[in-house]
Copies of this chain bind each other. A is one copy, B any other.
Amino acid sequence: MNPLQVDLGERSYPIYIDSDIYNNLSYYQKHISGNNVLVVCDSNTAGHYLPAMLDMLGDYHCQSITLPAGESHKTLDTVSLIYDALMQHRFDRNCTLIALGGGVVGDICGFAAASFQRGVTFIQVPTTLLAQVDSSVGGKTGVNHPLGKNMIGAFHQPACVIADMSTLRSLPERELKAGLAEVIKYGLIDDAEFYYWLNENLPALLDLNTEKLAYTVTRCCANKARIVAADERESGQRALLNLGHTFGHAIETAMGYGNWLHGEAIAAGMCMAARFSADCGFLANDTVEHIKSTFIRTGLPTEPPADMTSEQFIELMYRDKKVRDSVLTLVLMNDVGGAFLTSTFDTELLRTTLFQTLNK
């Protein structure tokens, strides 16, 4: 299969999407810098994939580190564990980090690669659907601050991404569904055709049909690559990718990192964005219901946690990275595939929508 190319000038890189490729050296060789390689995995991926990867990299001076798994460990302290390993092994600027795992491993490892010696090579091997369609494209790396998600980070593009469909077979069903939330997002943003294709093919995807998964990952990455290439630093249209995220981040922060999966939080977040879009008069109520039914059929939440309050949402949403000088920009929809940015919505109406959704 031809790789998908992410076009970012001298920072361009390929995404290889296929089955049984994560342990095939030919995909890595031309992207590895130098002879020193650190494989960064977590306690979820170490058992499944690390032995084969270390075996494959036998000709390199290869070390590995296993991080504690989960969003609650996406902290500066965990990044420090990687720095410590790099320093202890005396790795220099011409080394390569390989992120073997989900989005959390990729974000942490990417930030370590961005900041170790002011930037070293890294390769992403995303092993969850969420990471394959989202965090492996775009160069956003980083960790959480106790007071906000992804607040500390850098833009740092990988040398390549190796998305292996066979790694999805080890994924817990809940994680697969959470990944599908980001998949559906691409349809909602600007690809209605894909949204309807997904509605047809949800059962096959939930059943891990390899071909359809590869098609899905390719289409999502192509959509994201196109949006990112046009706006690498998120000064404009790239923010469309945040559909559902301002609501979703509020849920994640309120519930404690890791209690709701990111995909679950943004599924509920997209339903809230759809509801508010309808309340603003942009979106038909039928479309809101269609969107909700898609998430329900995927097995994802469509409502925020019952114990959150509307005031808590407002408070957390206005602490979001999308806030500039106290002005919040939201991603709303005027149709399936018709997402748009706005900062001129009625704040009181937002409070009303939230209050009606939460009954408090």
Contacts and interface: CB of A to CB of B under 8 A. Distances in A.
B34 A324 contact: yes
B324 A151 contact: no
Interface string A147-163: 11001111100000000
Given A118-B155, A155-B118, A145 B83 contact: yes
A92 B154 contact: no
Given A152-B116, A153-B118, A154-B118, A325 B87 contact: no
B87 A324 contact: no
Contact of A94 (B93, B111, B118, B324): B324
B151 A92 contact: no
Contacts of A151: 83, 87, 116-117
Contacts of A88: 147
Interface residues of A, number: 38
A323 interface: yes
A152 B148 CA distance: 22
A147 B318 CA distance: 40
Contacts of A111: 115
A180 to B, nearest CB: 27
Given A76-B80, A87-B147, A147-B87, A118 B140 contact: yes
14 contacts: A83-B145, A83-B151, A84-B145, A87-B147, A88-B147, A92-B323, A92-B324, A93-B323, A94-B325, A111-B115, A115-B115, A115-B142, A115-B153, A118-B153
Interface of A: 34-36, 76, 80, 83-84, 87-88, 90, 92-94, 111, 114-119, 140, 142, 145-148, 151-155, 318-319, 321, 323-326
